[in-house]
Structures are given as structure tokens and as C-alpha cells.
Amino acid sequence: MPPLSVLIWLPAAFGLRGALAGIGPLGRALARDGREQLVPGALALIASIAALGLAIGYIVEYGPGTQSGQTVTQTLQHVTNVAWIPALGIHYKLGVDGLNVLLIGLTTLVFAVAMLAANLRSGPGATERPRLYYFFFMLAESAVLGAFLAQDLALFVAFFDLMLIPFYFLMGMWGRGSRPDRIKATIKLVIYTLVGSLLMLAAAIATGVLASQQHGTHITFALSSLQALPLSKGSQEWIFLFFAAAFLVKMPAFPLQGWMPDGYRTMPIEVLMVFSGVLSKVGAYGFLAIVLPLFPKAAVHFQMLMLLIALISILYGSVVAFTQTDARLIAGYSSIAQLGFITLGIFALQPQGAEGALLQMVNHGLVVAPIFFIIFLLSRRAGGSEDIKDMGGIAFRAPVLATLFLVVALATLAMPGSANFVGEFMILLGLFKSKLVIAIIAFAGVAGASVYALRLFIRSMHNRVGEGVRSREISARDGLILAPLIGAILFLALYPQPALKRSEGSASAAIAEARLIAAPTVARVGAEEVSTPVVHSTPHLTVASGRHGSR
């Protein structure tokens, strides 16, 4: 497989070439035909599909850890490690592990589908100023992939902040609604999310500097090195809160979701698919890949707080989702609930919970992107309105569309047999082991999901035919856009095992240390059962657990 840099920068490079379309012999030839408007989109589509191909290659090649015995160590593959800013100890370090291998698959898939959708939207609805549009879109893909693959804290922060900028332009320049509203919504979204990430910047720098000071080593930001240099509990706590703010805004979680309604209403459809499907996962991924390994003591300290935030997000998201009538917002608030589940799984600090959370991240991305696209299709059949009050009876002449929608809706409510069921089940299983009461309350969220998903389906597809509704079958073009996503949902439903096998080792390694601190005796017994070398070979873990055990 080629190095990961190819995967990351391929989209940006093609996007840039597209932005410069009209230059060079090919560009001039096309410009004479008046077809140069199509070049950037085509290039972006090629790049995103090539990236998807590469990502599938990495997934196939990624074996779940070393197979000998039952070793569950985190193995980093395809490592690229170059000093980027030596004076600051920042490395351009990339790698694939069990945490991000599925997520890069999700990212490239959703981006490829979004590019397909954008390219096929020709005619009067075609994108204006395509060169900039596809340039920013591809830049976004590069930044998101960079954030997932970065194995250096500073690099992660840089990509994390960077990925917002293309969305700022994409929303502000091509968004829906009147110009002032659109700009207001865009700036609100960007400030909300950047405020979180800037706090994270300060926290990340503090992590590197304080780790080197407290251990008297040279400054470094590489995640693997930082993990070996644990911070004191006091430092961990405030740093944890800063990181949590950044990730919770991005998800979004309950008290920090203010940007979501206006933002989701404003985004163009492809941007919305990507934003809800992929960007929200970066936050959840950050908890697993960065917060839990680096700040385990703080994670245990704030476990209850995070679980409560997650729980409130689930209940709040579910309740608001079934009071809304704007279909986009129903899906948006349901995402808050789903991300709440993922947070629960992560902070259950149990291997099953973390694994389930990771699986659920992929599931949610695969489900929410087609839902938004279907809402887009529905609104075209309902006279342009995205309000479910204006829909109704759309299934009448569109059985295929209804079937596809039903598949997605059932996956959303975690019907047994879907991969979402597996994910939610594992999350709750993990939670039962650590926090029984919260798990019981979280079940209400499971019930809530079926209410809002089915409500959306029934109100739009069945019921009385709405006034402006003109039911018609899904076109082959739109079917082509939905097919890859629904195919992936079905594939994961039938074969969740390959996905789980790839992630389990890394997921349990990510929470291993926090788990030890949270419940030293249980964890040690559990660890002996599976004989994890992680536990036996690192002496400072036992020291830490001993201290906490006596508390």
C-alpha cells in the first residue's frame, strides 16, 4: 500500500488542480468546448473514489493486532514519521490503528458519495463556481483524513482546526437561505466549533510542555511518547476539560449544540451529509484516541460528568427530535442522541463499551448521511419543503424509495439484525458492567429512537397525501447515490465481525489504563483472563492502580 500521505493529500491535490482548471492544454481544450465547469467536479469525484479505494485497501490489509496468542496491543501500521517542526517537537506522524481504520473507510465513503451527489446534480441546480466548491470540499476531505490519521497531538490539533475552514466557505458561499441568515449561521457554527478547538490548542500545548517538564525530557507531541509520560492528576483535569469542550461541541452534545439547528438548516445537502456523517465522529474519535490514553486519571475523575452529559444528550435529543417537524432537525437532534450513546459507550470504560462506540460511530455515519439525502429527495417531492407536515403519502408511487428509506430508518432505530443493534447492545453491555443505573435510563433512549425514526418515516411516506406532494419513484441517478451507503449498511449488518475484529484490540487498549484506575481489582482479574501484556509489562500502571485502590 502507498504511504498514508498519499491518501491524505490526494483529495487536496486534485481539488487544487480542479481549482486551476482552465490552465494547461487540457484545461484550455475543455474551455473551448465550454465544458470546463465540469472538470473540477470530475476531478474531485476521481480523487474521492481513489481515496475510497485506498482506504478499503488499508482496511483489508489491517490485521487485528498480532495474531499470535491473544495479544491485543495497539499496532500502528503504515507509519509515516517525519519531524515537522523539530524545535517544538512536532512530528508529521501518521498511522493506521484499530481506532481509525474503520473511520477512514467511513470518511472516504461518505465523501465519495457526496461528490457523486454533487456531480450528478446538473442542470439548473448545478453548483455555481464549481472550481472553488470542489477545492474546498477536497480540502475538507484531506483535513478530516489528516485528523483521523494523525499520531501526533499537535498535528491532530492542526488538522482538527483546519477542517473547519473549508466548511466555513462551503456553508457561507453555497448554503441555503437568505444571504445574511446564511452568513450568520455560518459564523455562529465556526465560532462555536473553533472556540472549542482553540481551547484544545492551549490544552495540547500544555500537555506537551508539562509532560516534558514533569519528566525532564525533551519536548514531544507524539501520542505514543506522551502516553509514556503521564501528567500529574491536577494538570490532567483541566486539560481534560478543555479537550472535552472541543470534542463535545463538535459532536454536538447537550449544552453545546447551539450551532446545530441553524447550521444544519443552512448547509447544502452534500456538505450536510459529510458534516453530520463524518465530522461529528472526529470528536468521539478524539475521546478514544487522545483523551482516554493520555488523561486516564482525569477521565476517571470526570467519568460521571461525561456519562451524565451523554445521558442528557440522549434524552434531550430524543425528546426534541420527536417534537420537531423540520425533517432536517429531526435527523439533527437524533444525531445528538446517537452521539450521546457513543459517548456513553466510551466512558463506560469497559472494552465492550468502547468497541460498541467505535462500531456505532461507523454505523451512525452510514445511517445519517443517507437519511439527509432521503430528506432532500422527499423535499423535492413535497414542493421543496422539508417540513414533515407538508409531506405524507410519498410512498404511494415510490416503493423502492420507501424500501430504501425503511432500511435506513430501521437501522437508525437499531433494529435487531442491524449493525446498529450490535453497537448499541455492546455499549449498553459495557455500561451495565460499570454503571447500572445509567444503563437503565439509557434504555429510554433506545425506545426514543424508534419513536422518532418511525415518526419521520410514517409522517413522510404514509399518512394522508400532503397538498403539494407529487409522489414519484427514485430516479436511477439518486439510487446510484444511495446505493453505496445502503450497501455498506447491509454489509455491516450481515458481517459485523470483520469490523469488530479490527477494532477490538485498539478499543480496549485505549481504555485499558483508565479502566485500571477506575476499578483496579476487577480490571486486573479481567486482564488476567485475557492475559493482556499491556497490564503486566508496564509497572507504573500497577503503582497507579494500587494508589487508587487504597483510596
Partner 1 sequence: MTPQMLIAAAHIPAPHVPFGGLSPLLAFLGGALIVLMVGLMSPRRVREQGVPALAIIALGAAIGLTIWQWGDQRSILDGALRIDGTYLVANLILATGGIAAVLLAWRSAAGHEAAHGELHALLLSSLGGMSLLTAAQNTVVLFLGLELLSIPLYVLCATEMRRERSLESGLKYLIIGSVGSATLLYGLALIYGATGSSSFGAIAGAISARSLTGDVMLLGGITLAIAGFCFKASVAPFHQWTPDVYEGAPTPITAFMAVATKVGALVAFLRFFDVALIGASGDWAPTVAVLAAITIIVGNVGALGQSSLKRMLAYSSVAQAGYMLAGVVVASKLGVRATLLYLIVYLFMNMAAFAVIVARERETSFGDDIQAVAGIGRSRPWLAWPLTLSMLGLAGIPATAGFVGKFYLIDAAVSGGYTWLGVVIVIGSMISLAYYLPVVAAMWMREAPASAAAPAAGPSGEPGPSGSPYPAIAGGSPELDEAGSAPAHGGPHGEVVLVAVLAGAATLFFGIVPQPLFDLVAHAGRGLGLF
Number of residues that bind partner 1 (CB under 8 A): 38
Does 208 engage in binding with partner 1 (CB under 8 A)? yes
Q: Look at residues 476, 547, 484 and name the one whose alpha carbon lies nearest to residue 517.
A: 547
Smallest distance, partner 1 to C-beta of residue 159, A: 7
Checking phi first, is residue 323 left (phi over 0); if not, alpha (psi -120 to 50) or beta? alpha
Does 124 engage in binding with partner 1 (CB under 8 A)? no
Grid cell 425528546 — which residue? 319
Does 285 engage in binding with partner 1 (CB under 8 A)? no
With CB under 8 A as the contact rule, the residue among 102, 154, 290, 331 that binds partner 1 is: 154
Does 126 engage in binding with partner 1 (CB under 8 A)? no
CA 352, chain centre distance (Å): 19
In angstroms, rounded to a whole number, what is the distance separating the alpha carbons of residues 58 and 4? 9
Q: Rule CB under 8 A: which of 166-195 touch partner 1? A: 168-169, 172-173, 178-180, 182-183, 186-187, 190-191, 194-195
Does 216 engage in binding with partner 1 (CB under 8 A)? no
Does 158 engage in binding with partner 1 (CB under 8 A)? yes
Does 458 engage in binding with partner 1 (CB under 8 A)? no
Does 388 engage in binding with partner 1 (CB under 8 A)? no
Does 496 engage in binding with partner 1 (CB under 8 A)? no
DSSP string, 365-404: HHHHHHHHHHHHHHHHHTTT--BTTT---GGGG-HHHHHH
Contacts of 283 (CB under 8 A, 6+ apart): 246, 247, 248, 249, 250, 251, 339
Smallest distance, partner 1 to C-beta of residue 64, A: 33
Does 476 engage in binding with partner 1 (CB under 8 A)? no
Q: Rule CB under 8 A: which of 74-93 touch partner 1? A: 85-88
In angstroms, rounded to a whole number, what is the distance separating the alpha carbons of residues 354 and 147? 20
Q: Which is nearer to partner 1, 214 or 475 (CB)?
A: 214
3-state SS of 465-505 is CCCCCCCCCCCHHHHHHHHHHHHHHHHHHHCHHHHHHHHHH
Does 162 engage in binding with partner 1 (CB under 8 A)? yes
Does 372 engage in binding with partner 1 (CB under 8 A)? no
Smallest distance, partner 1 to C-beta of residue 208, A: 8
Q: Could you tell me the CA-to-CA distances from 526 to 93, 236, 529, 531, 538 in Å, in that order? A: 33, 26, 5, 8, 16
Q: Which is nearer to partner 1, 87 or 436 (CB)?
A: 87
Does 16 engage in binding with partner 1 (CB under 8 A)? no
Residues of 165-203 as b/e, b for ≥16 C-beta within 10 angstroms?
A: ebbbbbbbbbbeeeeeebbebbeebbebbbebbbbbbeb
Residue ranges that bind partner 1, judged by CB under 8 A: 85-88, 129, 154, 157-159, 161-162, 165, 168-169, 172-173, 178-180, 182-183, 186-187, 190-191, 194-195, 198-199, 201-202, 205-206, 208-210, 213, 219
